[in-house]
Amino acid sequence: MSDELAQFLRDRINEESGRPAALRTIASLIPDGVLLRETADQIEAESIAKRRLVSLCSYLDHRLDGLEGWDQERPFLKLAAKLFLQRLALPYAQHPSYRAEWRADPEGPTA
């Protein structure tokens, strides 16, 4: 996994972080803005979850090399972290900073 992919995802998540506030502002201006407030809450929760998952995958990628006793699990966990981040990046494939090598491996697990 590349640090660049993790940073790319963090940047996209940060770009999206302003959307909930904008939706809440719009919701306050219309009589029945409940759906917009709920959508803002959902986007905010998804951003928090994405940040945590990117951090976890980065942690696994960097820390597993220094841990003793993980020789059999290390390759699988590092591959799982890489594949997870590649899939998490797919919705951003049209972004100008997205790299073709980040596209999920067609030979990798799909389920």
Report which of 44, 74, 40 is spatially closest to residue 60, judged by C-alpha positions. 74
108 is a domain residue: no
> For 14-18, 65-69, 70-74, 107-111, which range has the lowest pLDDT when averaged over its residues?
107-111
Asked, for residue 103, whether it belongs to a domain, the answer is no
Count of domains forming the chain: 1
Q: Which domain holds residue 13?
A: 3-96
In this predicted structure, what is the pLDDT of residue 108? 56
**Phi, psi at 21, each rounded to 5°:** -65, -40
* Residue 40 forms part of a structural domain: yes
Q: Please determine, for residue 18, whether its predicted confidence score (pLDDT) is greater than 70.
A: yes
Residue 106 maps to a domain? no
Contact predicate 103/93, CB 8 Å: yes
pLDDT (tens digit per residue) in 33-57:
888 889 999 999 999 999 999 999 9
Q: Render pLDDT for 52-96 as a digit per residue (tens, 0 to 9).
A: 999 999 988 877 777 676 667 778 888 888 899 999 999 999 999
